């Protein structure tokens, strides 16, 4: 299945409160435990990442559930979101990566295009968990503020960036979904 022609595609909405409660209970040690992504990729230097399902080789199958997945109770917590995504793509599929990504207040992610087989083949889904109107996500030159609780596919094969002009951190749940 090829990427869609647009920049953003609304998949569904969800009750994000249970996820937000878990995110708000995380401490700075949790957010600082893994710094691989922001150190490896210049575009992500203003972010912090909690790996829920993630492999550093960006494999496209047999993903690894990380300890935080179980600690946060993600199997139950994320089931409604993952069910919505699966229903949208009508068929078999699975998350190959799931991350919580915090973008610091007054921080940004510069324009970039995702590369590599898995990143360009999987569907890049963003679910805003903690956000505000001062956070602007731009894909293919189209800017949007994505409200909390909406499930969006972005076309990550186009240039995309994020600017957080607010005084508050932004947190998105990112799901890379493999359509079978």
The pLDDT tens digits of the residues spanning 23-38 come to: 999 999 999 998 877 7
**Distance separating alpha carbons of residues 16 and 179, to the nearest angstrom:** 24
Domain CATH for 133: 2.60.120.330
- Segment 5-11 shows an average pLDDT of 96
Report the domain count for the chain. Answer: 1
Asked whether residue 135 is assigned to any structural domain, the reply reads yes
Asked whether residue 126 is assigned to any structural domain, the reply reads yes
Residue 151's domain spans which residues?
A: 8-179
**Distance separating alpha carbons of residues 32 and 18, to the nearest angstrom:** 22
Asked whether residue 1 is assigned to any structural domain, the reply reads no
Condensed to tens digits (0 to 9), the pLDDT of residues 100-147 reads 999 999 999 999 999 999 999 999 999 999 999 999 999 999 999 999
The pLDDT value given to residue 46: 80
Asked whether residue 156 is assigned to any structural domain, the reply reads yes
Asked whether residue 96 is assigned to any structural domain, the reply reads yes
> What are the helix (H) ranges across the chain?
17-25, 28-32, 36-40, 67-71, 74-77, 79-88, 117-121
């Amino acid at each position: 299945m090829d990427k869609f022609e647009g920049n953003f595609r609304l998949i569904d909405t969800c009750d994000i409160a249970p996820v937000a409660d878990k995110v708000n209970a995380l401490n700075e040690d949790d957010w600082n435990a893994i710094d691989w992504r922001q150190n490896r990729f210049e575009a992500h230097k203003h972010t912090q990442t909690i790996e829920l399902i993630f492999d550093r080789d960006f494999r496209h199958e047999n993903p690894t559930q990380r300890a935080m997945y179980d600690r946060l109770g993600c199997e139950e917590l994320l089931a409604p979101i993952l069910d919505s995504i699966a229903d949208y793509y009508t068929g078999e599929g699975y998350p190959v990566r799931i991350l919580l990504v915090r973008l610091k207040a007054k921080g940004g992610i510069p324009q970039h295009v995702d590369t590599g087989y898995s990143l360009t083949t999987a569907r890049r889904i963003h679910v805003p968990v903690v956000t505000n109107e001062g956070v602007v996500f731009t894909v293919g030159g189209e800017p949007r503020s994505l409200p909390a609780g909406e499930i969006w596919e972005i076309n990550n094969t186009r240039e995309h960036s994020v600017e957080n002009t607010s005084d508050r951190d932004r947190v998105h749940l990112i799901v890379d979904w493999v359509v079978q």
